[in-house]
Amino acid sequence: MTASATSPSVSPLLSMRSVSKAFGGIPALSEASLEVAPGEVQALIGQNGAGKSTMIKILTGYIGRDKGEILFDGAPFEARSPQDAQNNGISTIYQEINLVPFRSVTENICLGRESRRYGLLDWQAMHEQARKLLARFKIDLDVRKPLLRFNTATQQMVAIARAIGFKAKLVIMDEPTSSLDEREVAVLFDVIRQLKAEGVSVVFVSHKLDELYAVCDRVTIMRDGRTVKTADMASIGKLELVASMLGRDIAQVAKSATAFGDRRGRIGDVVLTANSLAAGHKVHDVSFSVRRGEIAGFAGLLGAGRTETARLVFGADPLQSGALSLDGAAIHPREPIEAIKAGIGFSSEDRKLEGIVPEMSVAENLTLALMPQLARAGIVDDAKQRAIVEKFIQRLGVKCSGPDQKIRELSGGNQQKVLLARWLAMNPKLLILDEPTRGIDVGAKAEIQSLIKELADQGLAVLMISSELEEVLEGSDRVFVLREGRSVAEFSHAEATESAVMTAMAHGDSDLVAEGSAS
Amino acid sequence: MSQVQTQGPTAATRRIDALAAVMRYSTLGALVALLIFNVLFTRHFLAMQTLDVNLTQVAAIVIVGVGMTLVIATGGIDLSVGSLMAISGAIAPIIFLNKVFNIGEIHLAVAVAMIVAVLLAGAFGWFNGWLITRFRIQPIIATLVLFIAGRGIAQVMTNGNLQPFKLDAFQWIGLGRLFAITDVYRGLPIQVAIMIVLVVVAAWVLKRSLFGRQILAIGGNERAARLSGVPVAQVKRWVYCISGLCAGVAGLVVIAINSSSDANQVGLGMELDAIAAVAVGGTLLSGGRATITGTLIGALIIQLVRYTMLANGVPDDVAKLAKAALIVAAVWLQGQGRA
């Protein structure tokens, strides 16, 4: 049904064929392809690590490719630098747009391409140029005023106008809407339609599926560095889109009740209740609860607000509205230390950036959160520390030469075990695990998964976030689905089939399962 | 214990460790080499007098360097130490010379002067930490504020005047001696004793205390430290406060030696000397790994290189070049260690 999509009638503006790229021997792209017709808006989607960014970086000259060919505007093309790509008509708009708020609109637009006359800036010409460019997007404003006088939507437009300039034939938008409100998104979509009308092509990267259907003509789906599917937007359902991204065959998605039910009897009282949490652009209305001895899983696409919600519970980011209670008592953690004192542990999704302290030993990393309890009159009790560390090294099977080995020398899986131990040593009431098995080998992954189950069996309340749907479905007693910052569905372990959860991830509710079985 | 299997370090990490070891011992080795060179070629080097001169000159740098090491261990930097020395050096004579209010008993006046001077410098240090943590200003910028303004404050306090004095009760801190043995040993200069005590206490705190652990965790990975419940802001404020206190003590030592306080001169360029000592000593400038004894050795090396050259007739300006070369070499070694 997608055959029509793969062969556009006109010759494509951009054609990337069998492009491969490896970083340090690990492939980021293998034989990936992307084709964009003139005046077409093409969506590029995929999970984290699917290869979208690598693809874009190669195209825009940030990095080189190992293999494959790129044709742009009918000729072989290789951008040597982002500047080079821009000069050749490929513009990129990133999530964060850097402008100079105190300078005039003209200065912002002309920054780096100033007109000069007799060695001086030709302001007349530059104002004219700025006005003309903005007129193209139907914006009429006083270009002499400082940028900060205008509202954010207008500023955003100026940034986009600047990026596109006059010469762009292809505009790449990398999650352009992630920090925009609805009105600003609408303005952006107008721009995209305008570009399209002028014959400019757009590659649109976004995790918000509704947006893809609103503006895109076709979609290319990537997974594990490969292009897995290209289809007309009109001919592909949301569920199929999600299934392709996650690599699940929806036709074969059967209700797979795993042998997991024996724990349900041991689930106890509610430990954590979260009511209508909201903060920033990412979390709008999230409610959920976790009970003693239960593993609650968060499912959702990238950008659904799972990590952001977890950080709110832990006090790592400020909560704007909503209520939290732990063991029946209201809590308002403003800093992680307050959440820790209340009995919450949080293992971040980014082990390197927010987990390990690489210069420190296994022992020091393991006891980082526990340290205040190990100190008497400010002095760390080494004997006590050693006893605890050795206990956890043995209990979790951490492979290291001893407590004094530097943690950076350990494998990812063993580092993760140490970080788990960091929280287990605290004996928390609630443990939040954000991507506990990301980036570790298969063996260690299975070990950590069974360890988490064991901990729940012993009465720990666990909130688990994973981008691997399988991990969430198999490991969780209850699954909460988040979509665009809202909790949209809740499933028991038995109800949480792939099709039901994926439907909720895609549509926000679960009454459209029929679509899944139909396609 | 069957589960605790040995995982041999990879070739890469072994190389890093080897380099780290080279780095650690190369500073000590450099110091020993310098000593041997001097014993062989510099006349009268083995005299007590020489040891005295060198230790006396290095004491202020090491005292400031101790605070600086802690600051750098958190991944920060403190440019204000020289100016804080000037403030401490300006306020103390004002008090013990009874310029503001009359304290009859001279020992009491000196004690009040010392305590107020050191605490004032510490308070300014706390202000640095407050700027850095409250407004998330980069340390180099935040401490630049007092680097510039601090000397101005000292000059305003003294109306820009030189404050000469001759007061043994106070100058004891710069000129006094301990454990003198008649006809054999003039005694350990007080400032050197202060230096040794500070080095020992700080080295112990960094290694064994909760506070030291927290400092290194912040320098090693601030985000991980915060998510593990380390009170990042509080620890940083204390660290900058301690750096200020150390600068305050050093300021007193310097004016005591000089018998006068000149707000224009006290502690001039000290921030760079202290940072150089820390760098040469092997503390990671990006934070997370620090050695107080390294800073002591680093300061001694810099001092000894300068002394060696001066004693052998090399002009002071050329000696500065040698100091610069030392710093480059130390930083290069660090880069190798982390590669």
Domain spans, chain B: 46-267
Q: Return the bridge partners of A321, or none.
A: A278
Give the per-residue pLDDT at A302: 80
Q: Comparing A375-389, A417-431, B179-193, which segment has the lowest mean pLDDT?
A: B179-193
- Whether A378 and B224 lie within 8 Å, measured CB to CB: no
pLDDT at B66: 98
Residue B193 clears pLDDT 90, i.e. is over it: yes
Per-residue model confidence (pLDDT) at position B217: 96
Shortest distance between the Cα of A378 and any Cα of chain B, in A, equals 5
Enter the tokens of residue A369: 């959160």
Which candidate from A337, A354, A410 shows the least CB-CB separation from B224?
Answer: A354
Comparing C-alpha atoms, which of A272, A367, A406, A318 is closest to residue B229? A367
Check if A340 contacts B (Cβ < 8 Å).
yes
At A255, the pLDDT band (50, 70, 90 cuts) reads: very low
Section B80-93 average pLDDT: 96
**In chain B, % of residues over pLDDT 70:** 91
Question: What's the pTM value of the predicted model, to 2 decimals?
Answer: 0.73
- CA-CA-CA-CA torsion sign (A254, A259, A265, A266): negative
Q: Do B227 and A410 lie within an 8 Å CB cutoff?
A: no
Q: Which residues of A170-193 are buried (b: 16+ CB within 10 A; e: fewer)?
A: bbbbbbbbeebeeebbebbeebbe
How does pLDDT run across A193-219, given as a tens digit for each residue? 988 998 999 999 887 788 889 999 999
Could you give the CA distance from residue B229 to residue B3 in angstroms, rounded to a whole number? 30
| Lowest mean pLDDT across A274-283, B291-300, B307-316 | B307-316
The distance of A351 to chain B (nearest Cα, Å) reads 9
User: Does residue A267 sit at the B interface (CB-CB below 8 Å)?
Assistant: no
Query: Which residue in A has a C-alpha nearest to residue B1's C-alpha?
Result: A394
pLDDT of residue A81: 86
- Asked if A414 lies within 8 A of B210 by C-beta distance, the reply is no
Neighbours of A20 (CB within 10 A): 19
* Banded pLDDT at A86 (limits 50, 70, 90): confident
**Mean pLDDT computed over A435-461:** 85
For residue A9, give the DSSP letter.
S
User: B188-191 long-range contacts, Cβ below 8 Å, gap at least 24?
Assistant: B189/B52, B189/B55, B189/B56, B189/B59, B191/B56, B191/B59, B191/B60, B191/B63, B191/B253, B191/B256, B191/B257
Name the B residues in 226-245 with CB < 8 Å from any A CB. 226-231
Check if the beta carbon of residue A251 is closer than 8 Å to that of residue A243. no
Average pLDDT, chain B: 88
pLDDT of A98: 66
Q: How far is A316 from chain B (nearest CA, A)?
A: 7
Predicted local confidence at residue A123, as pLDDT: 86
Report how far apart, in Å, the C-alpha atoms of B88 and of each of B119, B142, B158, B248, B251 are. 9, 20, 12, 5, 6
Whose tokens are 């391409």? That residue is: A113
* B227 with A348: Cβ contact below 8 A: yes
| Mean pLDDT in residue range A367-388 | 92
Largest CA distance in chain A: 84
Residue B225 forms contact with A (CB below 8 Å) = yes
Q: List the single best residue of A357, A386, A451 to mutate versus B (max B Cβ within 10 A).
A: A357
Chain B CB contacts of A393 below 8 Å: 3-4
Mutate to test the interface with B, among A307, A368, A401, A411 (most CBs of B within 10 A): A368
Q: pLDDT, tens digit, for every residue of B88-114?
A: 999 999 999 887 777 778 889 999 999
Residues 402-421, chain A, touching B (beta carbon < 8 A) = 402, 405-406, 408-411, 414
For range A97-111, the mean pLDDT: 81
What is the separation of C-alpha B159 from the centre of its chain, rounded to a whole number of angstroms? 28
Instruction: Please spell the DSSP secondary structure of B271-282, one letter per residue.
Output: HHHHHHHHHHHT
The CA distance from B6 to the nearest CA of chain A, in Å, is 4
Give the lowest-confidence range in A17-31, A122-136, A170-184.
A170-184
Least confident of A405-419, A428-442, B6-20, B199-213: B6-20
- State what percent of residues in chain A have pLDDT above 90: 43
Whether the CA torsion A234, A237, A242, A248 is positive or negative: it is negative
Instruction: Decide if pLDDT at A261 tops 50.
Output: no
Size of interface A-B (CB pairs under 8 A): 106
Which tens digit of pLDDT belongs to each residue from A451-471? 898 899 889 999 999 888 888
Question: Parallel, antiparallel, or unpaired: how do β-strands B177-178 and B188-189 relate?
Answer: antiparallel
For residue B222, the distance in angstroms to the closest alpha carbon of chain A comes to 8
Asked if A448 and A456 count as a contact pair (C-beta separation under 8 A), the reply is no
Task: Give the pLDDT confidence score for residue B152 in this predicted structure.
Answer: 95
**What pLDDT sits at residue A97?**
58
Residue B186 pLDDT: 80
Who among A369, A375, A408 is closest to B228 (CB)? A369
Task: Decide if B12 touches A, using CB distance below 8 A.
Answer: no
Output the pLDDT for position A95: 61
Contact B211 A378 (CB under 8 A): yes
* Res A513 pLDDT > 50: no
If you ran DSSP here, which 8-state letter would residue A401 be given?
Answer: S
Of B208, B209, B224, the CB nearest to A355: B224
In A60-139, which residue ranges form alpha helices assigned H by DSSP? 82-87, 105-110, 123-136
Give chain B positions within 8 Å (CB) of A390.
Answer: 4
| Digit-coded pLDDT (tens) for A326-364 | 999 999 999 999 999 999 999 999 888 999 999 999 999
Contact A371 B4 (CB under 8 A): no
Residue B309: CB partners within 8 Å, gap ≥ 6?
B318, B319, B322
Distance from CA of B304 to the nearest CA of A (A): 31
Selected for mutation to probe chain B from A314, A353, A359, A376 (highest B CB count within 10 Å) is: A359
Mean pLDDT check: name the lowest of A2-6, A290-294, B229-233: A2-6
Residue from B215, B221, B334 whose CB has the most chain A CBs within 10 Å, to mutate: B221
- Note every long-range contact of B142-149, with CB atoms under 8 Å and residues 24 or more positions apart, other chains counting: B143/B77, B143/B78, B143/B79, B143/B80, B143/B240, B144/B79, B144/B80, B145/B80, B146/B79, B146/B80, B146/B83, B146/B84, B147/B79, B147/B80, B147/B82, B147/B83, B147/B271, B148/B83, B149/B83
Mean pLDDT of the region A156-184: 80
Q: Could you read off the pLDDT of A488-502 as tens digits, one per residue?
A: 999 998 888 888 998
Write the DSSP assignment of B286-301 as a string of letters: TSS---HHHHHHHHHH
By three-state DSSP, how is residue B308 classified?
A: helix
Identify the H or E element spanning A324. strand A321-326
Structural element, H or E, at residue B178: strand B177-178
B339 contacts chain A (CB < 8 A): no
User: Token digits for B244?
Assistant: 């200020």
- In terms of average pLDDT, the best of A12-26, A209-223, A408-422, B229-243 is B229-243
Q: For residue A340, what is the nearest residue in chain B, using CA coordinates?
A: B229
pLDDT surpasses 90 at B209: yes
Q: What is the ipTM of this complex?
A: 0.85
